[in-house]
Structures are given as C-alpha cells and as structure tokens.
C-alpha cells in the first residue's frame, strides 16, 4: 500500500514538472543565411494566434512601405514615420491587445532583429534603406508564419 502511494506521488511530481516547463520558450536555433528564427519563442494558449497575427501584420506593413515607395511623392519618408506606421497598424489591428506583453521573447527577438537590419536612426530614408525595412518586415512575417508549423 505504501509503495502505491510512492508511485502515485512520483507520477504526480513528474506531471507537475512537465506542466511547469510547458510555457517556457525553446531557445531559438540559428537558421541558415542569418534568417530570423521565432519558432519556439511563442508560448501559451495564444501562441499560434499571436504568431499568425504578427505574420499578417508585418506582411501588410512591408507591402505598404513598398507601395508607398513606388509613389512619385512617398508619404512615409523617415524611420520615425515607418515606426509610427507600425504602431498605428498594431493598435488598430489588435485594438489595444499587446502581443509583446504576452510574447516577450518574440518581442525582444523582433526588436533586436530590426535594430540589426535597419538600425535605430529615425531620419530620412533613401530607396535602399526603404528596401531594407521592407525586407526586414517580410522576414519577420516569414519567421512568425514558420513558427506555427
């Protein structure tokens, strides 16, 4: 009878350990060619939904930046304007919900990636810099989508 109690206690302890580690992110593995890796960073019950939302949002931002750059007189001409577009798009799409608060590991990885790819300069951007922003947002969209698989 005492042996059975020990077995049950050991099983319960093992389950508790598994549940405690369930929402911890998996350390990202580097991808070839310096691509962004977000797989394993989305955690919790909204992980898949959050990854899809980020993917769609970033793809749309990339498309808007690209389209705006094709105009004779682009409206978005500075790094600050690009960031303002991101904030406005996120606020309107998510209606006050902060994925970054729910997914801090993803938020930090994207922040670091953007800093590496486009820098932190908020001033005027040329065509080459605009393309770097477009490419960076498309890469974030790709990485977030890949995280759902």
Q: pLDDT for 48-60, tens place per residue? A: 999 999 999 999 9
- Integer CA distances (angstroms), 130 to 2, 6, 49, 64, 91, in order: 70, 63, 29, 11, 22
Model confidence, pTM = 0.78
Instruction: Look at residue 4 and tell me whether its pLDDT is greater than 90.
Output: no
Secondary structure (DSSP) of 107-129: HHHHHHHHHHHH-S--SB--HHH
Contact status, residue 30 vs residue 39, Cβ threshold 8 Å: no
Please report the pLDDT score of residue 148 as a whole number: 92
Digit-coded pLDDT (tens) for 8-21: 444 444 444 444 54
pLDDT of residue 75: 96
pLDDT at 84: 94
Number of domains within the chain: 1
């Amino acid at each position: 009878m005492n042996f059975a109690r020990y077995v049950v206690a050991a099983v319960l302890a093992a389950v508790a350990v598994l549940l405690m580690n369930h929402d911890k992110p998996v350390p990202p593995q580097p991808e070839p060619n310096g691509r962004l890796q977000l797989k394993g960073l989305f955690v919790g019950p909204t992980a898949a939904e959050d990854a899809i939302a980020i993917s769609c949002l970033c793809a749309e931002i990339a498309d808007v930046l690209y389209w705006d750059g094709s105009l004779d007189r682009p409206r978005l001409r500075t790094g600050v304007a690009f960031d303002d577009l991101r904030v406005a798009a996120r606020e309107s799409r998510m209606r006050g919900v902060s994925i970054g608060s729910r997914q801090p590991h993803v938020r930090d990885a994207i922040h670091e990636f953007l800093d590496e790819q486009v820098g932190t300069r908020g001033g005027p951007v040329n065509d080459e810099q605009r393309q770097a922003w477009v490419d960076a947002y498309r890469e974030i969209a790709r990485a977030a989508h890949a995280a759902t698989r």
